[in-house]
Structure 1
Amino acid sequence: MTQGTFQSKQAIAQLVELDRIRVWSVVITIFGDAVVDRGGTVASTTLAALIGEMGIKPEAFRVAMSRLTKDGWVVRSRRGRLSFYQLSAKGVSVFGPATKRIYAPSPGSADGWRLVVLQNAADDAPEDAVALGGRTYLTKRRDHVADGLVVSGSFVTVPDWTKDRIGTPEVARGYTELRAVLQGLSVAHATPMEAAALRVLIVHQWRRLVLRHADLPLSFFPDEWQGEACRALVRQLLADLAPAANAWFDTEIP
């Protein structure tokens, strides 16, 4: 094993160990990152090879594909002896919109957000609501709010207690851990297959964090927030990996 390959295997292991890997979720990342833009269909053997490069056992992969098929996230078809998969309409509708946030070059704007204060506890807050405690939340929904005080416009100040609710300690910790791993990754000499696995894992670990909080400017998050530092590292690493990773994907997902 060459030094470059050893470093790449080590980088893959670090990303896998960063958070408990859910194989079905990694498969969804593969679809969103590499398959959808290449026709949308991929062979089971290709998925299995890429998952195997991450050190995930074949049994875990088979269980994950069975679950995704049974739950209606992917559709399976056959061509001769080979099985192929594609995202179902349900999978596209749920995971498609998330790609804008995952690959965005910068965080969202504060424009369009409204502050809502209710008379009673928010039992039926909208899906995008960012809870600020009890009867108060942020939302981009324009629906009428019964008995609600609704304020829109510029946010003059964002106090620390609000930042801590928007950027929770758990997610903040996740970003700190991810940044530490990303800073130490060596990807320069990865083989095409290793580069493909590294790309998927980087996107996956970034995706699991960036989709867990509101898309707001950095000023809305705690002072030690590492989310934007992670975004910069993710974008640089994906650019570095692109030639080799794309070579593998373009060959394996024709």
Structure 2
Amino acid sequence: MPSDPYSAALNILTATGTQRVWSVLVSVFGDLARHEGEGIDGPVLTALMAEAQIKPEATRVALHRLRNDDWITSVKSGRTSHHSLTRTGRRLSLAASARIYSTPVEAAQGWQLVLLETATSESREQMEAQGFAPLAPRLYIGADTATPPAGTLALPATTAPRWLGAQFEPKDLSQDYAALYERLAALDALKLDAAALSPIQIGVLRSLIVHGWRRLVLKHPDLPPDVYSDAWRGHDCRALVTGLLARLPRPALSALHD
């Protein structure tokens, strides 16, 4: 077993070995350089990915894909490439950041039921894009801050029965959250100290924490804890992510490059 907290943390975060490299890069840029004018030089990105146990060849292939998908742009200065989010990548990253970085206090507190005129008035994909999860044909559940489509019947709700969560929680997502909770709890138990870590080490830990969380939290509507079943660990994961990121403050890009 690793004797130092950093190595133990890396082992926990990379144990699954199932990260898609392009998706990890989206998390890296989304956490460390998502604002206009921010970017990461090639050697720094190589160092971050090497710490995450991702080979340079895999990083190059993933960068090529993200450039083709209009997520990343790369500019060469001498022998050094400078990578940054495109306008599209920046817009999507900023839009997702509200969900990714919201604290338990900032998460949804109220909810509503929305009844469609017919089962085909709106597609499931359209409703999910607007922040609603299906409960039954024509019936959806969403946060009270979500805007229902025109022509629907929106009913504010208060107390949720204990069986409600099981009606809309995807079982595979619930299992993924349970697994993520175990990893995050193990990380939390390490009591990582940012003062004992380099900016690169902090950057890679943050990016991998965000990556594991991002790939789950963006797959479902933001709903209050009361409407979920006891088996749902999504809100527990949010609390752990909030605490871990607070313990590992985002390093300045200048510190990463130095």
1:227 equivalent to 2:234? Answer yes
Which of 179, 182, 192 is the equivalent residue of 2:181? 179
CA gap 1:14/1:152 in 2 versus in 1, 3 angstroms: same
SS at match of 2:242: helix
Q: Show the 5 A alignment for 1:55-66.
A: 55-66=53-64
SS at match of 2:43: helix
SS at match of 1:3: coil
Alignment match, 1:132:
135
Alignment match, 1:115:
114
CA gap 1:251/1:190 in 2 versus in 1, 3 angstroms: closer
**Aligned counterparts of 1:132 and 1:192: Cα–Cα separation in 2:** 45
After TM superposition, the score normalised by the length of structure 1 is 0.85
**Aligned counterparts of 2:222 and 2:173: Cα–Cα separation in 1:** 13
SS at match of 2:114: strand
1:252 equivalent to 2:256? Answer yes
**Aligned counterparts of 2:210 and 2:169: Cα–Cα separation in 1:** 20
1:141 equivalent to 2:147? Answer yes
**Aligned counterparts of 1:32 and 1:159: Cα–Cα separation in 2:** 37
CA contact (8 A) 2:73 2:84 kept: yes
Q: What letter matches 2:149 in structure 1? A: D
Alignment match, 2:207:
200
SS at match of 1:131: strand
Percent identical residues: 31
CA gap 1:121/1:38 in 2 versus in 1, 3 angstroms: closer
CA contact (8 A) 1:31 1:40 kept: no
Residue 237 of structure 1 and its aligned partner are, at CA, apart by 1.6
CA contact (8 A) 1:122 1:134 kept: no
List per-residue Cα deviations over 1:22-55 (Å, max 9, x = no partner): 1111111111111125832211221111011011
SS at match of 1:120: coil
State the superposition RMSD in angstroms.
2.4
Residue 56 of structure 1 and its aligned partner are, at CA, apart by 0.8
Q: What letter matches 2:225 in structure 1? A: L
> Which deviates more from structure 2 when the two are superposed, residues 225-234 or residues 98-107?
225-234
CA contact (8 A) 1:9 1:194 kept: no
CA contact (8 A) 2:116 2:122 kept: no
SS at match of 2:251: helix
Q: Show the 5 A alignment for 1:60-139.
A: 60-106=58-104, 107-110=107-110, 113-121=112-120, 124-125=123-124, 126=126, 127-128=129-130, 129-138=132-141
**Aligned counterparts of 2:58 and 2:96: Cα–Cα separation in 1:** 25
CA contact (8 A) 2:39 2:82 kept: yes
CA contact (8 A) 1:166 1:220 kept: no
**Aligned counterparts of 1:161 and 1:65: Cα–Cα separation in 2:** 45
**Aligned counterparts of 1:84 and 1:37: Cα–Cα separation in 2:** 15
CA gap 1:165/1:96 in 2 versus in 1, 3 angstroms: farther
CA gap 1:38/1:75 in 2 versus in 1, 3 angstroms: closer
Residue 158 of structure 1 and its aligned partner are, at CA, apart by 2.8
**Aligned counterparts of 1:182 and 1:143: Cα–Cα separation in 2:** 37
Runs of 4+ in 1 over 4 A off after TM superposition: none
CA contact (8 A) 1:115 1:137 kept: yes
> How many residue pairs align between the two structures?
243
